[in-house]
């Protein structure tokens, strides 16, 4: 007996419509019985609880730095939100999108509060969170409103790609090289000897004028002895996750590895600061080169490892921040204009 593909395709469409209508009818009945606002509030609390539980499990299994946290969890939240508020065939796209985004924002802020996340983490998580939430909205909108075969293909491809990229950082095979360096260079009229003398004297590190670096609190105290090989310098940090409370105290220890009139190398031997959640500091290399005009070219290279995935999002951010930090250290610690 020949298989009737046309009849089977028709049955699939009828089944999908029937399944969608049943869900909409059931949801409308629940909202009519208990009130739409109450149902939405309870659903948001439920989604927040699920998201918080998922993140807690990722932390438990040391996967909270992988793309599972930054891609899979937001996408799962967005899918649950689309189930909470199905889209109508004749709605303008921006109406459900605004509702979808506001609900996602409430879940994001509520789960951040439950997990005691700091404002810096929230600020850097938010762009990729809403990027993924928007992808989920687009996939859902296309699958409901558009009937073209190509549109259906896109709607299916989006979640598959999100799932695929979510495994970055979970194993060595799926991890992109984390080692990075950031270099800043400038020219000054001071001699290498004068610059070495600046490094050997006590200093305080003021806040940076850069918009990104200005978000991070500067060290509140620095223990620096001489520039003798083997010396340990300690940088004490204090980060108020909630601006004035939920404080994290930490220390960064640096060891002087080598000192010459033209070069200083430093290793980071201990880091309990809040920076350690984002990057692993390895070492720094300071070089002084005198050019033919009598100026000294000062370069500072910082070696570090990225701890967060996906790389396509976090690597450019961290590269920029480390390069700005290196430039700030040159100006405020080495040159001290």
Distance between CA atoms of residues 315 and 79, nearest Å: 27
pTM (2 decimals)?
0.85
**181-194 burial: b if 16+ Cβ within 10 Å, else e:** bbebeeebebebee
Does residue 170 fall inside a structural domain?
A: no
Output the pLDDT for position 10: 47
Output the pLDDT for position 14: 46
Candidates 303, 291, 298; CA nearest to 334 is 298
Residues 188 and 121 both lie in one domain: no
Distance between CA atoms of residues 270 and 69, nearest Å: 26
Task: For residue 160, give its domain range.
Answer: 35-165
Output the pLDDT for position 254: 94
Does residue 10 fall inside a structural domain?
A: no
Taking the alpha carbons at both ends of the chain, their separation in whole angstroms is 89
Residues 117 and 252 both lie in one domain: no
Does residue 85 fall inside a structural domain?
A: yes
Output the pLDDT for position 7: 47
Residues 208 and 330 both lie in one domain: yes
Residues 201 and 111 both lie in one domain: no
From first to last of the 337 residues of the chain, give the pLDDT tens digit.
454 545 444 444 444 444 455 555 655 555 555 556 777 788 889 999 999 999 999 999 999 999 999 999 999 999 999 887 765 555 677 888 998 999 999 999 999 998 888 889 999 999 999 999 999 998 888 877 665 556 667 778 889 999 999 999 999 999 999 999 999 999 999 999 999 988 888 777 888 888 888 888 888 888 887 889 999 999 999 888 887 778 889 999 999 999 999 999 999 999 999 889 999 999 999 999 999 888 999 999 999 999 999 999 999 999 999 999 999 999 999 998 6
Q: What DSSP state is assigned to residue 259?
A: E
CA 84: distance to chain centroid?
Answer: 27
Residues 200 and 246 both lie in one domain: yes
Residues 183 and 328 both lie in one domain: yes
Residues 111 and 133 both lie in one domain: yes
Residues 57 and 129 both lie in one domain: yes
- E-assigned strands of 261-319? 263-271, 279-290, 296-306
- Beta strand 221-223 with 232-240 is antiparallel
Residues 118 and 151 both lie in one domain: yes
Residues 133 and 207 both lie in one domain: no
């Amino acid at each position: 007996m020949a298989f009737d593909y046309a009849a089977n395709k028709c049955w699939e469409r009828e089944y999908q419509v029937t399944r969608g209508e049943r869900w909409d009818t059931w949801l409308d009945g629940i909202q009519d019985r208990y009130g739409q606002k109450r149902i939405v509030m309870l659903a948001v609390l439920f989604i927040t609880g699920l998201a918080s539980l998922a993140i807690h499990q990722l932390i438990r299994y040391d996967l909270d730095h992988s793309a599972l946290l930054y891609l899979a969890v937001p996408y799962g939240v967005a899918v649950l939100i689309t189930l909470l508020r199905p889209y109508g065939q004749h709605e303008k796209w921006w109406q459900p999108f605004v509702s979808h985004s506001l609900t996602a924002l409430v879940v994001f802020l509520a789960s951040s509060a439950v997990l005691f996340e700091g404002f810096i983490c929230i600020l850097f998580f938010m762009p990729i969170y809403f990027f993924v939430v928007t992808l989920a909205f687009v996939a859902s909108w296309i699958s409901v409103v558009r009937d073209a075969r190509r549109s259906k293909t896109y709607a299916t491809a989006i979640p598959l790609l999100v799932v695929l990229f979510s495994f970055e950082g979970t194993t060595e095979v799926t991890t992109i090289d984390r080692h990075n360096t950031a270099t800043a260079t400038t020219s000054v009229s001071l001699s290498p000897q004068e610059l070495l003398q600046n490094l050997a004297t006590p200093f305080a590190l003021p806040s940076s004028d850069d918009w990104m670096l200005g978000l991070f609190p500067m060290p509140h105290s620095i223990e620096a002895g001489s520039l003798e090989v083997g010396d340990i310098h300690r940088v004490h940090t204090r980060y108020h996750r909630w601006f004035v409370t939920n404080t994290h105290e930490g220390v960064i220890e640096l060891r002087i590895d080598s000192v010459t009139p033209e070069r200083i190398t430093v290793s980071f031997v201990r880091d309990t600061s809040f920076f350690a959640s984002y990057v692993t500091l390895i070492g720094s290399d300071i070089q002084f080169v005198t050019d033919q005009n009598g100026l000294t070219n000062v370069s500072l290279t910082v070696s570090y490892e990225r701890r967060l995935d996906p790389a396509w999002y976090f690597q450019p951010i961290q590269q920029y921040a480390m390069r700005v930090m290196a430039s700030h250290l040159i100006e405020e610690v080495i040159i001290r204009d």
